Amino acid sequence: MCIRRVDVSKQNKAVRVLASSTLSFTICFAIWMMFAVLGIPIKKMLGLNETEFGLLAAMPVLSGSLVRVPLGIWCDKYGGRIVFFLLMLATVPAIYLIGLATAYWQFLALGLFVGLAGGSFSVGTPYVARWFAKERRGLAMGIFGAGNSGSALTKFVAPAIIAAWGWQALPTVYALTMLVTALLFWVFSATDPSHQSGASVSFADQVKVLKDRRVWRYCQYYSVVFGGYVALALWMTKYYVGEYGFDLKLAALLAACFSLPGGVLRALGGWIADRHGAYKVTWWVMWVCWVCFFLLSYPPTAMLIQTTRGPVQVNLALSPWLFTGLLFIVGTAMAVGKASVFKFIADDFSDNIGAVSGVVGLAGGLGGFILPIMFGALLDLTGVRSSAFMLLYGAVCVSLVWMHYSFRPAVASTAAPALQPA
């Protein structure tokens, strides 16, 4: 009876930890992605070019990526609850000060501090994972990772706030939201001392995981499914405005058709990865993205075809509805892929989840930082908006080739018994 009561108590704590962490990560991610919408009026006010806009939108992603490794290490050492709580509090002043900024360099500098919110993923992932048994970790981490839907939350909320009170009001609202969320997290979360290593392990010792080639593979996969997701979440609102001439509200709403499934369905991805394995799920995710990015890469084209009846002009272009449908498929695939990559980590590095998830999260975050800048630079150089998808198409090709040659021996050895005669 006593054992039963202890088990129920631990399960209740696990559910509370998962719920409070997922809510907190959702708010952190919404604030991390705030320049996807806020950057558009700032771009107009400051007269920025496409590359400068890409840098502005991506600046929070840079700092949020760089802190992931130390945050993962601190989570292993001190416990996720205290690290998560202090991290959220640390971002509040910078969020508020964005509303008072007037110069480009001020927005960039404050964006770096706001970006700390993005590091919450490397705290919440090991914090949540350790509350659940191995066979349920994929689902639990998938539910927590559904906090990526905070990107869609920003696209729903931010345009309405900007339209009602001006862009300067958005940072004030977000700063207050972050403060309240941090307090709620502290009240409803829990601590388990057995999850803390407490060991005095150096940074160099922790990042020795980079000697394992599997970590590099997972970094590549995650730079596509997470880095690509972050980059597109930052870029798509502006893409709709520039390519189709939509206003900010409609553009943000359609961009949310990518961001929302890319976040919410991560829990489904965790469940699928638990049932079918990380390799098989990630492999099909990459193929789906490959097909969709190929179609999205094709720029609006006008062709003049000479026929026996004279020249015929053919216009090829994606309608906004077909474009949005393809984005929805990509968002769904990336949601599943983000969960399946972390299923790899939970299975292969169960004793060192914090450090490995920090390294892999760093790679994904750096992808989310570099890609928007490259999107802007390619647009400035070529004038072709779909060049962003051409770049992502190439990145997916690299992942598919790497997966094929990395897992081919394992797949062959698994299939060999079935080929032997009875």
pLDDT at 114: 94
Q: Quote the tokens at residue 359.
A: 């390294």
Number of domains in the chain: 1
pLDDT value at 1 more than 60: no
CATH of the domain at 66: 1.20.1250.20
Identify whether the C-beta of residue 92 lies closer than 8 Å to the C-beta of residue 179.
Answer: yes
- pTM of the entire predicted model: 0.80
Q: Quote the tokens at residue 220.
A: 């590549």
Domain annotation covers residue 13: yes
Domain annotation covers residue 106: yes
Q: What is the mean pLDDT of residues 74-79?
A: 82
More confident site: 338 or 389: 389
Q: What is the mean pLDDT of residues 228-241?
A: 91
Instruction: Give the residues across from 311 on adjacent strands.
Output: 306
Q: Which of 95-109, 185-199, 351-365 has the highest mean pLDDT?
A: 95-109
Identify whether the C-beta of residue 197 lies closer than 8 Å to the C-beta of residue 75.
Answer: no
Q: What is the mean pLDDT of residues 52-77?
A: 86
pLDDT at 274: 80
CA 49, 394, 407, 420 torsion: positive or negative? positive
- For residue 217, CA distances in Å to 224, 282, 349, 372, 405 come to 11, 12, 14, 22, 11
Q: What domain range includes position 139?
A: 2-417
pLDDT-derived band of residue 419, with 50, 70 and 90 as boundaries?
Answer: very low
Instruction: Give the residues across from 316 on adjacent strands.
Output: 301
E strand residue ranges, 295-382: 301-307, 310-316
Closest listed residue to residue 144, CA positions, set 45, 52, 14, 51: 14
Task: Please report where in the chains the tokens 């972390």 appear, as a residue.
Answer: 342
Domain annotation covers residue 380: yes
pLDDT at 405: 82
pLDDT value at 108 more than 60: yes
More confident site: 172 or 69: 172
pLDDT at 199: 54
Q: pLDDT tens for residues 6-30?
A: 466 778 888 999 999 999 999 999 9
What is the share, in percent, of the chain residues with pLDDT greater than 70?
A: 90
Identify whether the C-beta of residue 339 lies closer than 8 Å to the C-beta of residue 141.
Answer: yes
Q: What is the mean pLDDT of residues 338-342?
A: 84
pLDDT-derived band of residue 165, with 50, 70 and 90 as boundaries?
Answer: very high
- Where would I find the H helices in 33-49? 35-46
For 349, residues 6+ apart whose C-beta sits below 8 A from its C-beta are 209, 356
Q: First vs last Cα of the chain: how many Å apart?
A: 51
DSSP string over 76-111: HHH-HHHHHHHHHHHHHHHHHHGGG--SHHHHHHHH
Domain annotation covers residue 352: yes
Identify whether the C-beta of residue 358 lies closer than 8 Å to the C-beta of residue 203.
Answer: no
pLDDT value at 282 more than 70: yes
Q: Quote the tokens at residue 267.
A: 């829990």
SS3 325: helix
Q: pLDDT tens for residues 122-154?
A: 888 888 888 888 777 777 877 887 888 888 899
For 353, residues 6+ apart whose C-beta sits below 8 A from its C-beta are 76, 125, 126, 129, 130, 345, 346
pLDDT value at 417 more than 70: no
Q: Quote the tokens at residue 109.
A: 């500098």
Strands 310-316 and 301-307 come out as: antiparallel
pLDDT-derived band of residue 205, with 50, 70 and 90 as boundaries?
Answer: low
SS3 312: strand
Q: pLDDT tens for residues 347-384?
A: 777 666 666 777 787 888 889 899 999 999 999 999 99
Domain annotation covers residue 186: yes
Instruction: Give the residues across from 306 on adjacent strands.
Output: 311
Q: If you average pLDDT over every residue of the chain, what do you get? A: 85
Domain annotation covers residue 422: no
More confident site: 68 or 50: 50
pLDDT at 394: 93
